[in-house]
Amino acid sequence: MNATPERPDDSFHVFDTTLRDGAQREGINLSVADKLTIARQLDEFGVGFIEGGWPGAVPRDTEFFRRAVDEVDFRHAQLVAFGSTRKAGVAVEEDAQVAALLEAKAPVICLVAKSHDRHVELALRTTLDENLAMVRDTVSYLSGQGRRVFVDCEHFFDGFKANPDYAKSVVRTAAEAGADVVVLCDTNGGMLPAGVHAVVSEVIADTGARIGMHAQDDTGCAVANTLAAVDAGATHVQCTANGYGERVGNANLFPVVAALELKYDRRVLPPGALREMTRISHAIAEVVNLAPSTHQPYVGVSAFAHKAGLHASAIKVDPDLYQHTDPERVGNTMRMLVSDMAGRASVELKGKELGVDLGGDRELVGRVVERIKQAELRGYTYEAADASFELLLREEVARRPLRYFRTESWRAITEYRPDGTHAIEATVKLWAKGERIIATAEGNGPVNALDRALRVALERIHRELAGFELVDYKVRILEGTHGSQSTTRVLVTTSDGRTEWSTVGVGDNIIAASWQALVDAYTFGLLRAGVAADEA
Amino acid sequence: MNATPERPDDSFHVFDTTLRDGAQREGINLSVADKLTIARQLDEFGVGFIEGGWPGAVPRDTEFFRRAVDEVDFRHAQLVAFGSTRKAGVAVEEDAQVAALLEAKAPVICLVAKSHDRHVELALRTTLDENLAMVRDTVSYLSGQGRRVFVDCEHFFDGFKANPDYAKSVVRTAAEAGADVVVLCDTNGGMLPAGVHAVVSEVIADTGARIGMHAQDDTGCAVANTLAAVDAGATHVQCTANGYGERVGNANLFPVVAALELKYDRRVLPPGALREMTRISHAIAEVVNLAPSTHQPYVGVSAFAHKAGLHASAIKVDPDLYQHTDPERVGNTMRMLVSDMAGRASVELKGKELGVDLGGDRELVGRVVERIKQAELRGYTYEAADASFELLLREEVARRPLRYFRTESWRAITEYRPDGTHAIEATVKLWAKGERIIATAEGNGPVNALDRALRVALERIHRELAGFELVDYKVRILEGTHGSQSTTRVLVTTSDGRTEWSTVGVGDNIIAASWQALVDAYTFGLLRAGVAADEA
């Protein structure tokens, strides 16, 4: 089991179920390696409990527990195995599913129990009394084996509405049998905060059990429902990173802990952990292979982004007037957005952020605003392409195009051959330093082949290019919904091994748009490497 | 002004500010035509008030009001012009901004006023008394001109914390001067529901004013904060479609009205409107050119989607046990997801949904589950590609591949020429009905050219194809984050003018992936048109 050097005290539990309930989200499919990586990230963030899955029922989860117990040195978290109460009519010692929970060797077991009378009868097909016996037997058996036991009361709030006495009797039975925490689950997610507060208050008053909350986000209130339960006396919250979960999702771990730490002034994470929140949220999104939500509270790239010209000018006076918390406290940063709604003040602030001194030059700022407007009309967006924006800004400051080469022509061929193989090839013809350069390269796709051909062409002249790598590539088709033809926008992120920069390209087709973004990417990289630009 | 045939009664206001505050969202940039379209959609949905923008301050908004008043026949909503109180030290009759509000000819004017003492001093740079005079003068002047006036108290909750007496005096001044509703704005979005409830209760008790709520979502609680205000006596809620807005966003109109109608049993929309909610949410996303959030409460495509094998088997018994509301009440539908987490029960249910009888054939269902697992390992996903899934299913039922042609080879060339033009051309070589067909076509991009060449090749044989049109195209680069090479996944939506279907393709490069999705799209379309498939 785990050593406990920095474990938070037990009076309040931050219980993460990203790996179990979060994995139910449409579009998520985690390998064992993914689960181990996320478990390490959650432990680093400092949650108290990590529910890893259902060993025995899901083969990948069995494997996860085997490896996690051996390979992961948890500093903060305890590993939790999820499972079910014993089957109806079977002795707990002879229930294979229960035995598998012990074999997982997690110090904590979280058992799901039915607490809604209709679910007992229709889904479980047993009697209300037998369900109570199943809870009692399983909890006391697993406690007797030295495990700490929590009980998730599935469909608790709907069950409470239908038959409050029976729902509460499940809580009482679990607590009396030795469950440390009984968790009230809003499994269908239909609750609102006022209702949660009332039910949790009544359950605590009537049963005396230690209560936890598990909220789903079907009404858009999962974070608020979790906090309402805490207000009513719950001391254990079940959440998932980025709110991943079935249907709409689960209570989002990040705004829940941020509210507890920043708004309630309640310490629920190890010291310093909150400042890692934005990074960890994005890292987990990376592993589950979903784009991080740009508009997620606290951690989204837009969460502290200001667009309105009205605000922008006032933010110059005092940023604290316009943000509910200092973004640095959650590891995020304030950003000024460049858009044609923004006035001069936004462009000036953005220039400052990029280290380009516009020196209050009204005419210069006016030219920049005008160029942005024109570009946005054609489908460009600079909000996610800081490097393309900085190039635009520096060109206006220099009053000339900044470039290292001139494109004569290029061609990309993608072919599927009768033998079932693909042949992909690109040729570029450029002028640089007075020289005409022709280069051809193969690639695993047309954009990759163009990228390689461009690099081959320029590398002889600019050695700095050797270290550049295209690390992310996004395509957006801008529908011509309003009568116009559709255009393609490409965002490219390039790395030089130390930093990354993003550029944008727009065109009638994906290859042309990609070419533009690549040209900006190489130009920006060379500019930043201190290479003097010429007129090519 | 507007006729009022079906206007909801005035006791509760659903006030939409998508066109004003929602347009502040990062990535949104609305034309006048876009704004008119959205205004019609919101009116159709039945909101009581549509805040259209700031006439006078924003030229596009001035134009919007000019056209909206003339061109739009509002059935439910009243048009609201947003503006500011008069400037400090200027007589209200001589304030150009105030005059522009009247010129907009909207029956309602919503004035923003400062209510936070520090904002008055630092951002507005005037005295607390002059600010009160600005509120008083502007409200009474505009009321005197026959307009209904609402007042938005900006930064109210932060202001209340800093100086509750001053904040309340702004409310009192506005109400006494003739404002029908005084709206408390959580401009920085830092509030939680319990705090909102306490402040709104106190303001109502102390001022007697009619109170509205404007929440931002920075803590992830905007919907709950809006409902907390209603619980405390607010009778006017300001929201935006899909929660669009600055930073994290505003209170989302859809879950707010759904909670009021379905959970509070309060009629706030015209009869039948709620059933249009999913459609209208997606239509507005279309106009603002943002992908609809798949996980949005009530209206997301995932909002009633079930994945877990555990649930899937129980849903067969009684769907109401597993959903907090009937999805039809909000115009959405329950979906069963196909994924390797899903067991046989999910595949059977999905088959039923698609009208493919798997007849409890255990071996057949097993083959389907196995094929899905293998495909998902290679990067396929069927969750958003029902047509590719149905093809897979029908192939397993038929125990043979379903195809109308065999691909020998294809080639796509994209070229940028020295004269600055693009040349894009694709050639396909196919076998169909024993015949070898070669076709070449140009296009505005390589995928478009391939699509056209494929159509040219097949049209002679299958006339049905003539009506098919590629209507949506999505690309996702699946990062090889875990050591493997990256792959590309393409989702294509095709229409025959009456219905649409979606197919998926996966490949090492974007063109190969697109080709696969196109082949599935044409195959599915012909299959559905009743054309008999052969072995080509």
Count of other CB atoms within 10 angstroms of residue B58: 16
Retrieve residue B45's tokens: 């949905």
Q: Which amino acid is at A270?
A: P
In this structure, the strands spanning B305-306 and B335-336 are parallel
Structure tokens at B526: 């012909």
- pLDDT of amino acid A283: 83
Does the structure show a pLDDT above 90 at B333? no
- CA-nearest of A12, A14, A13, A3 to A277 is A14
8 Å CB contact between A44 and A276: yes
Angle at which helices A510-528 and A446-459 cross, to 10°: 30
d(CA A426, CA A448): 9
Q: Tell me what the mean pLDDT of segment A121-129 comes to.
A: 92
Q: How confident is the model at residue B239 (pLDDT cuts 50, 70, 90)?
A: very high
Please give, one letter per residue, the 3-state secondary structure of A411-451: EEEEEECCCCCEEEEEEEEEEECCEEEEEEEECCCHHHHHH
Mind listing the domains of chain A with CATH numbers?
13-264 (3.20.20.70), 305-377 (no CATH), 406-528 (3.30.160.270)
Q: Which amino acid appears at position A140 of this protein?
A: S
Chain segment A65-87, per-residue pLDDT in tens: 999 999 999 999 999 999 999 99
A416·B411 Cβ contact <8 A? yes
Q: Percent of chain A at pLDDT above 70?
A: 92
Tokens of B495: 């229409």
User: Under an 8 A CB cutoff, do B123 and A314 touch?
Assistant: yes
Is residue A95 helix, strand or coil?
A: coil
Nearest residue to B1 (alpha-carbon basis) of B65, B53, B64? B65
**Each residue's pLDDT tens digit, A377-397:** 777 877 668 899 899 999 998
Contacts of A473 in chain B (CB under 8 A): 477
Pairwise CB contact (< 8 Å): A317 & B122? yes
| Amino acid at position B32, single letter | V
CB-nearest partner of A422 from B302, B418, B508: B508
Determine the pLDDT at residue B8: 64
- CA B184 to centroid of chain Cα atoms: 26
| Interface probe with A: pick from B237, B247, B374, most Cβ of A within 10 Å | B247
pLDDT of residue B112: 97
Residue A446's pLDDT is what?
93
Residue B128 has pLDDT above 80, yes or no: yes
Confidence (pTM): 0.76
State the Cα–Cα distance between residues A505 and A495, nearest whole angstrom: 17
Alpha-carbon distances, residue A175 vs A116, A154, A234, A422 (angstroms): 17, 15, 14, 63
Which of A122, A409, A445 has its CB closest to that of B317? A122
Chain-chain contact of B341 with A23 (C-beta, under 8 angstroms): yes
Cα separations in angstroms, A97 against A47, A110, A180, B346, B525: 27, 13, 21, 22, 46
Residue closest to B515 by CA, chosen among B426, B402, B438: B426
pLDDT at A340: 45
Determine phi and psi for A232, rounding to 5 degrees.
Answer: -85, -5
Name the amino acid, one letter, at B476. R
pLDDT at A220 over 90: yes
Contact criterion met (CB < 8 Å) for B509 and A424: yes
The rounded distance, in Å, linking the Cα atoms of A167 and B469 is 54
Say if residues A285 and A291 touch (Cβ distance below 8 Å).
yes
User: Is the pLDDT confidence value at A360 over 90?
Assistant: no
Q: Which of A194, A308, A381 sits opposite B246 (nearest CB)?
A: A308
> Tokens at residue B179, please?
């404002």
For B188, the token pair is: 């920085």
Q: What is the average pLDDT across A282-307?
A: 85
Cα distance between residue B243 and residue B290, in whole Å: 12
A480 — pLDDT class (breaks 50, 70, 90): very low
Please tell me the distance from the alpha carbon of residue A341 to that of residue B60, in angstroms, as a whole number.
10
The per-residue pLDDT of chain B, averaged, comes to: 89
Which residues lie across from B318 on neighbouring strands?
none
Angle between helices B386-398 and B510-528 (to 10 degrees): 60
Distance from CA of A244 to the nearest CA of B (A): 9
**Which residue, among A20, A315, A510, would best test binding to B if mutated, counting the most B CBs under 10 Å from its CB?**
A510
How many angstroms away from the CA of B509 is the closest CA of chain A?
4
**How sure is the predictor about A307, in pLDDT bands with cuts at 50, 70 and 90?**
low
Q: Which residues in chain B have their CB less than 8 angstroms from residue A446's CB?
A: 412, 414, 446, 509-511
Q: How confident is the model at residue A310 (pLDDT cuts 50, 70, 90)?
A: low
Neighbouring-strand partners of residue B49:
B15, B78
Distance CA(B445)–CA(A487), nearest Å, equals 10
Contact between B388 and B375 under an 8 Å Cβ cutoff? The reply is: no
Which residues in chain B have their CB less than 8 angstroms from residue A488's CB? 445
Contact status, residue B522 vs residue B404, Cβ threshold 8 Å? yes
- Spatial CB neighbours of A299, under 8 Å, sequence gap ≥ 6: A254, A277, A278, A281, A282, A292, A330, A331, A332
ipTM score assigned to the predicted complex: 0.75
Q: Are strands B435-442 and B422-432 parallel, antiparallel or unpaired?
A: antiparallel
Percent of chain B predicted with pLDDT > 70: 93
pLDDT of B2 over the 80 cut:
no
Residues of A in contact with B417 (CB under 8 A): 409
Q: Of A40, A63, A45, nearest to A53 (Cα)? A: A63
Among A305-309, B376-380, B440-444, whose mean pLDDT is lowest? A305-309
Contacts of B478 in chain A (CB under 8 A): 289
The first and second tokens of residue B84, run together, are: 């500011």
| Residue A316 reports pLDDT greater than 80 | no
Strand partners, B438: B429
Q: Mean pLDDT in chain A?
A: 89
Nearest to A446 among B294, B475, B509 (CB): B509
Band (A479; pLDDT cuts 50, 70, 90): low
Q: Which residue of A has its CA nearest to B251?
A: A220
Q: What order of strands is seen across the sheet that includes strand A469-478?
A: A469-478, A487-495, A500-507
Residues B174, B150: Cα–Cα separation, whole Å: 9
Residue A472 to residue B477, Cβ atoms within 8 A: yes
Which residues are CB-contacts of A97 (< 8 A; sequence separation ≥ 6)?
A: A56, A57, A83, A84, A86, A87
**Chain B nearest-CA residue for A427:** B415
Q: So what's the pLDDT on residue B361? A: 84
The b/e string for B59-77 (b: 16+ C-beta within 10 A; e otherwise) is ebbbbbbeebbeebebbbb
